[in-house]
Structure 1
């Protein structure tokens, strides 16, 4: 419950910071140089739900991301990305204390889950990362935004008294709210290294198929599913000079 409150508080803080960007008086056109980046990342995707009620780093499964980032001001950057992952979650291999509780022992369930996420987020940079005059360019950042998620799932059970838990592969679409923290470090003028941890809030409890079955309580109906991504990235920066508007002669008194 404490982690949940911290995550929600962080989300509110980030959204307030992003909202302030719309009232900024500094226009992007004032910069002499604008930047955009393309990059890839590798890391782990983590699911938190009925089969894994608590976040554990060791439950991460491999994930791959590709993204495009563009600076809007010296503080804000916009980023669009795609994240792909596949994982298997099992009541017998959760890896924490909950695996010995009666409900997981009763379910004996296994989940196969593949997901693809398309996201658009805003990043708030604490330092002026895009100032090329700095000898060392580094900045921590917050990010928040929206994402569309398509996921494919299959649920099986070893408990013969719960035949309704055996469900074939099914594909669903939903939306989520990604937010989190990261840090950027410039390896050179063009190459950047990044490290990020992010949480995704879902608005349903259906990522793992577990809700109610045959009138028997097999899940917590009051808790939503979550998923996470944490990883490292490498990106390449493109620079573009912002030329001033062309000079136009103003008409004089004698014109």
Structure 2
């Protein structure tokens, strides 16, 4: 009995690793809100909501792992009047700008995600976490500006019906530049280093957040779902 029990455990463990969803790819889109944090907003992540939209492409590796690419657009804005900061000479300013983003993330599903293979313990829903990288483009004083960001996030997805998925995702993106909130200079002062301290990776203040709801459709039937790896 002990040998049989061990064999069952080994087969179950292998199945959760090697089996994959029935379809390899997902494509879809989502919409929601974007939020800015930086020199004009250091402590209230949802103070200045903007809009955002995203196109999504996902490759499913197996029940637990997936790779996702996204192309997003949106709008960010902020105002120093509600920042809680005191700036030199009691200066104040605001900004508003559109952004575009190309990104890629690795996702980990906490539950084995599928609406089939229930004998393997799969579930048609799961929370997940993501980490990756992205490139963000904005326009500052009629000139394009690129910066790299590191996204971290959490989400939840559900198999609405065969081949259709719905989900919600919240991600926090640390910009490695300090230009998301740059304003037109006024007497030598703006939000790009308002205290006269040169920006660096450790001193950079710019973040942006995204919260979206999305719908995706699966395609690319696997010839053998038992070899998802």
Give the structure-1-normalised TM-score.
0.69
Change (3 A) 1:104 1:144: farther
Would the alpha carbon gap of residues 140 and 31 (structure 1) be closer, same or farther in structure 2, given more than 3 Å must change?
A: closer
Q: Name the structure 2 match of 1:139.
A: 126
Give per-residue Cα distances to partners, 1:166-196, cap 9 Å, x unaligned: xx33320111111110000111112111111
Partner of residue 106 from structure 1, selected from 64, 76, 90: 90
1:26 Cα deviation after fit: 8.2
Q: Which sections of structure 1, spanning at least 5 residues, go unmatched?
A: 1-24, 154-167, 245-255
Larger RCO: 1 or 2 (CA < 8 Å, sep 6+):
2
SS at match of 1:57: coil
1:190 equivalent to 2:163? Answer yes
CA contact (8 A) 1:31 1:242 kept: no
The two structures, once aligned, show a CA RMSD in angstroms of 3.2
What is the match of residue 63 of structure 2? 74
Shift of 1:238: 1.9
**Cα offset for 1:47?**
1.1
Larger radius of gyration between Structure 1 and Structure 2: 1
TM-score by length of 2: 0.76
Q: Does 1:49 align with 2:38?
A: yes
Are 2:58 and 2:69, in contact at CA under 8 Å, matched by a contact in 1?
yes
1:242 corresponds to: 223
Shift of 1:112: 1.9
After TM superposition, the structure 1 stretch with the greater mean CA deviation from structure 2, 228-237 or 207-216, is 207-216
The answer for the alignment partner of 1:59 in structure 2 is: 48
Count of residue correspondences:
202
Which of 211, 220, 225 is 2:206 aligned to?
A: 225
- Return structure 1 stretches of 4+ with deviation > 4 angstroms: 25-32, 210-213
